[in-house]
């Protein structure tokens, strides 16, 4: 009897997966995206996706090679699972499908879609200079060189790589009918059907050498900033009938519910850039003619070494503008702390972290579930639970920005510069801080004392090396994500 009860419990958990925070989420209403951060604090944090690809934020990188797809042509004898998880339509993909040419080998996990409604056929998540396409397809891959499965990789800063494909409503596309013809079998949340394998390459644009590349996040809760995004420049086309198969035939509710809820408008609005830039593999169009290519990794490492080891007094006197030419761009926005408890959060006495050096900073993979757990414990002790989003943003933003900067995918913002200066003599650091303020005149800056040291060290009283241990050693099993409760 106990075995049957346990089996029933497992079946319920599979059919109704729990989130990492136990929170329900939708795209609109009281559980809509504006309220995601209440239960999923990273959704209000740094390096979020999707974004708008604005011409002034694009940087041409001649080192970006065409995307290389391996084993994408599947046998018709292979069975794929097409499912409705209440948020999107998902198609499972075998892990032998993988990408090469990226920093690691990334193996496929699934693909899914975001779309608008039958009345408003615009529903892509990313936009190009404000233009929104009819829909968007995401092919999700995980870093199989470092992690055994996608569940383990999901919350790591180098865990995922997602291919984004814009979809416009136009000509009929036979490749999409390989699975769209089965959507009537998955009309309701939790339903699944089997689909014969096919050549997944046919779903992608003809040109794989033109794309946008940036560091971002899952576009659905828990919104971990763990994604290396590659969004292809050229859209693919599907017919209006094919589009309506997604936008008018599906429900986010279960079949047994009395009031069916249509599954439509399942796209997140574009997010803040957080001083990121977008690398592009093409130089024609969108005002990119004559654009200066991104700085080389060697040049960028010299900037870091100068900040860590150089003469900060000389840097403050005359070389700051030359060294950091993009400081005039809009900095990371910080909300002011108004009540005394909130102010205490920024004034906690800390043990200053030793300078770990550039290489350590680059190679340490942030584990976002661990950070959330450690920060949550500290906040509960000080009755500051409502400050989770802001505290996590402080903890991860400098590390993410530094990693992205060294890989030529962002600017080095003021907060990260101060993060680098935490081990320098206070008089030199203060002098440079004053120079930074002059360089960014007209922009509000927080006091230097609130930025020195690792934010995680402030909150937990330990070094980041201790705080970033492998998640399976620190996180209880019920904190793990269940299968298919996220899309990106």
Q: Would you please indicate which residues are annotated as catalytic (active-site) residues? A: 87
Nearest CA to 467 out of 375, 348, 386, 391 is that of 375
- Could you give the CA distance from residue 297 to residue 304 in angstroms, rounded to a whole number? 11
Task: Output the six-digit token pair for 254.
Answer: 């279960």
Nearest C-alpha neighbor of 190 from the set 248, 132, 257: 257
Contact yes or no for 128/210 (Cβ under 8 A)? no
Residues 224/225/227/231 CA torsion (nearest 10 deg): 110
How would DSSP label each residue in 165-212? Answer: EEEEE-S--TTTHHHHTTGGGG-STT-EEEEE--BGGGGS-S--S-EE
Q: Please state, in angstroms and rounded to a whole number, the distance separating the CA atoms of residues 76 and 199.
A: 9
The span from the CA of 139 to the CA of 228, in Å, is: 12
| Nearest residue to 50 via CA among 138, 150, 117 | 138
Q: Which residues on adjacent β-strands are paired with residue 70? A: 98
- Which residues 6+ apart lie within 8 Å of 134 measured at CB? 115, 116, 121, 122, 123, 124, 167, 168, 169, 238, 243
Report how far residue 60's alpha carbon sits from residue 294's, in angstroms, rounded to the nearest whole number. 6
- Measured CA to CA, the distance from residue 140 to residue 98 in angstroms comes to 10
The C-alpha angle with vertex 226 and arms to 200 and 222, in degrees rounded to 5, equals 95
Query: Which distant-in-sequence residues (6+ apart) come within 8 Å of 12 by Cβ?
Result: none
Cβ atoms of 460 and 467 closer than 8 Å:
yes
d(CA 304, CA 322): 14
Query: What is d(CA 34, CA 26) in angstroms, rounded to the nearest whole number?
Result: 10
CB atoms within 10 A of CB 53: 21
Q: Token pair 């999409």 is at which residue?
A: 176
Q: What's the alpha-carbon Rg for the chain, to the nearest Å?
A: 23
């Amino acid at each position: 009897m106990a075995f049957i009860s346990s089996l029933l419990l497992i079946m319920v958990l599979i059919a109704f997966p729990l989130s990492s925070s136990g929170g329900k989420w939708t795209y609109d209403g009281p559980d809509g995206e504006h309220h995601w951060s209440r239960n999923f604090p990273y959704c209000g944090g740094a390096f979020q996706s999707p974004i708008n690809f604005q011409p002034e934020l694009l940087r041409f990188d001649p080192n970006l090679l065409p995307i290389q797809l391996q084993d994408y042509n599947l046998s018709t004898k292979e069975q794929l699972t097409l499912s409705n998880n209440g948020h999107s339509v998902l198609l499972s993909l075998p892990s032998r499908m993988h990408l090469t040419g990226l920093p690691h080998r990334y193996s496929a996990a699934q693909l899914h879609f975001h779309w608008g409604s039958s009345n408003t056929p615009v529903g892509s998540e990313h936009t190009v200079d404000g233009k929104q396409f009819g829909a968007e397809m995401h092919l999700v891959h995980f870093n199989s060189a470092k992690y055994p499965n996608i569940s383990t990789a999901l919350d790591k800063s180098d865990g995922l790589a997602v291919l984004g494909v814009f979809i416009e409503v136009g000509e009929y596309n036979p490749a999409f009918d390989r699975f769209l013809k089965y959507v009537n079998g998955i009309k309701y949340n939790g339903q699944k059907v089997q689909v014969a394998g096919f050549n997944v390459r046919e779903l992608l644009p003809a040109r794989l050498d033109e794309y946008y590349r940036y560091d971002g996040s899952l576009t659905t809760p828990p919104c971990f900033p763990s994604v290396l995004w590659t969004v292809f420049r050229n859209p693919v086309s599907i017919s209006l009938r094919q589009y309506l198969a997604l936008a008018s035939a599906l429900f986010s509710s279960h079949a047994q519910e009395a009031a069916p809820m249509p599954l439509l408008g399942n796209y997140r609005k574009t997010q803040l850039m957080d001083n990121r830039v977008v690398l592009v593999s093409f130089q024609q169009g969108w005002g990119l003619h004559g654009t200066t290519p991104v700085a080389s990794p060697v040049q960028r490492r010299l900037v870091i070494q100068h900040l860590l080891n150089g003469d900060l007094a000389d840097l403050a006197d005359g070389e700051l503008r030359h060294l950091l030419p993009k400081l005039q761009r809009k900095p990371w926005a910080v909300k002011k702390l108004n009540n005394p408890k909130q102010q205490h959060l920024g004034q906690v006495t800390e043990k200053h972290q030793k300078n770990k050096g550039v290489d350590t900073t680059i190679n340490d993979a942030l584990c976002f579930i661990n950070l959330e757990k450690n920060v949550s414990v500290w906040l509960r002790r000080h009755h500051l639970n409502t400050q989770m989003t802001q505290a996590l943003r402080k903890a991860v933003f400098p590390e993410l920005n530094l990693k992205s900067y060294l890989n030529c995918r962002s600017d080095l913002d003021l907060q990260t510069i101060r993060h680098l200066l935490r081990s320098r003599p206070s008089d030199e650091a203060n002098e440079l801080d004053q120079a930074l303020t002059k360089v960014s005149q007209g922009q509000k800056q927080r006091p230097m004392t609130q930025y020195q040291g690792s934010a995680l060290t402030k909150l937990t009283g330990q070094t980041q090396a201790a705080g970033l241990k492998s998640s399976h050693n620190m996180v209880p099993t019920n904190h793990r994500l269940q299968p298919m409760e996220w899309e990106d």
